[in-house]
Amino acid sequence: MAEEKDPGAPIPKDAIDPELIKLARKQTHIGVVTCAGVIFLALFFIIKLNADRRFGGASDTPASATPADIADGKVTNDQLVSVQGELMMAHAVRVGAEKKSLGLRVVPLRGTAEKVWVVLDGDGYAKPTMGSFTGRLRDLDDLPFAHTVRDYVAAHPQPVFATAAATRAGFSSNKVASVAGDQLDVRDSDRVGFEIVDASAATVVCTFNEKHENLAACTKELQTAGIPIPPTPREGRDQAYYDVTGVENAVATMTTKLEAAKLWGTRVDAVTRHYDTTWAKLKTSSPAGFTVDTTTIPDAQIDLIGLYVVRSIPANAHAVILGEHPQDYWYVMPVTVLLSIIGLLFAWALVRAVKRDLLGPKPAPEPAA
């Protein structure tokens, strides 16, 4: 029988201490779930980068396109395009790119029924882009701020202008052709506003100088010139204002009187009247003119009518993103190759895991005690 060694006995120099022997660890296996998850993520990002990868491989020479072709979907997305048009800056929507930045401005092109938008830098002091716009063409809904633009447009109706004749022609159908060529669907609750120059009114502005130094002196000079003085003229810091009413062709008449009196320190401003109503009330106007409250304005006196129509952006709207070029996306292809390699490696690991864990031999059951 072998002699048992004392656990605390010293170990000879040429002997191996059994307590210092490190057994090999069990080999780590990658499970089926882990492999499937990595493959899914790789495929997800490959698909997600598909648009950027396509644009990165596009030509650096912009393709010429018209707003009508883009609006009709005749131009392929994710390419560099150059389009001619006029921005409707009054309908611009500002979106934030990140905190403490000026963000971006998303502006529709005139005459496209809000199917074509241009994405500009948010810096109002940047060099303006006029007439020709070159950038990446994308679907508006593919942009991260698309929902912000849609929500803002739906909540903040902007005036769209139409002639008096086009407005009257739309009374029966509630459809009005704007001056930009768009077809507007007007609801009874939509606001309508317009302005006209009151031919029987004018504002005479008298600037204080050595000849007439104050309100009293201006009033005296104007009375001498035959200007009808209102009961309560308005006085500013350096000027006095006289609102003249009830005079036929007031601006021309007052100007003639001032020139005859050689009052060169005065001027005559036209008076603009603003009228505001709803589409439902405007539709009740008679052929004699547009009626707002109790006032009827002949059609000939109205230049343009502003219709505050709530408009929704079409589902197939496009956006031209200025400042983006194919060479900016050089990194997308290497990233795609790397993701493909990772996906293939884990696909191979998945096959091995399935064979090992699902198709391999079952371990023998332990004997019963």
pLDDT range class, residue 363, cuts 50, 70, 90: low
CB 353 within 8 A of CB 29: yes
Q: What is the DSSP string of 292-338?
A: ETTEEE-GGG--EEEEE------TT-EEEEET--GGGGTTHHHHHHH
Write the Ramachandran bin of 364: left for phi over 0, alpha for psi from -120 to 50, otherwise beta.
beta
Distant-in-sequence, close-in-space partners of 216: CB < 8 Å, separation ≥ 6 = none
pLDDT at residue 101, rounded to an integer: 67
- Of 5 and 203, the structure prediction assigns the larger pLDDT to 203
For the chain, the structural domain boundaries read: 32-52+330-358, 63-157+313-324, 159-308
CATH architecture of 63-157+313-324: Beta Barrel (2.40)
pLDDT in tens, 119-148: 998 876 667 777 789 999 999 999 999 999
Q: Which tens digit of pLDDT belongs to each residue from 245-293?
A: 999 999 999 999 999 999 888 999 999 999 999 999 999 999 999 999 8
**Model confidence pLDDT, tens digit, residues 69-107:** 999 999 999 999 999 998 888 888 988 766 666 788 999
For 11-40, the pLDDT digits (tens) are 777 777 766 666 666 667 788 899 999 999
189: Cβ contacts below 8 Å, ≥ 6 apart: 278, 279, 280
The pLDDT tens digits of the residues spanning 299-333 come to 998 999 999 988 888 888 999 999 899 999 999 99
Q: What's the CA gap between 311 and 82, in Å, rounded?
A: 27
Number of other residues whose CB lies within 10 A of the CB of residue 288: 10
Strand partners, 214: none
360 pLDDT band (50/70/90 cuts)? Answer: low
Could you give the 3-state DSSP secondary structure of residue 329? helix
Instruction: Decide if pLDDT at 336 tops 70.
Output: yes
- β-bridge partners, 321: 119, 136
Mean pLDDT of the region 190-202: 92
Q: How confident is the model at residue 362 (pLDDT cuts 50, 70, 90)?
A: low
Could you tell me if 139 and 327 are in contact, meaning their C-beta atoms sit under 8 angstroms apart? no
Helix (H/G/I), strand (E/B), else coil: 44? helix
CA distances from 123 to 103, 134, 147, 320, 343 (A): 8, 18, 22, 17, 42
Mean pLDDT for all residues in the chain: 88
Residue pair 104/117 in contact (Cβ under 8 Å)? The answer is no
Which of 367, 210, 198 has the alpha carbon at shortest distance from 297? 198
Q: What is the pTM of this model?
A: 0.68
Which pLDDT belongs to residue 100? 63
Cβ proximity of 218 and 240 under 8 Å: yes
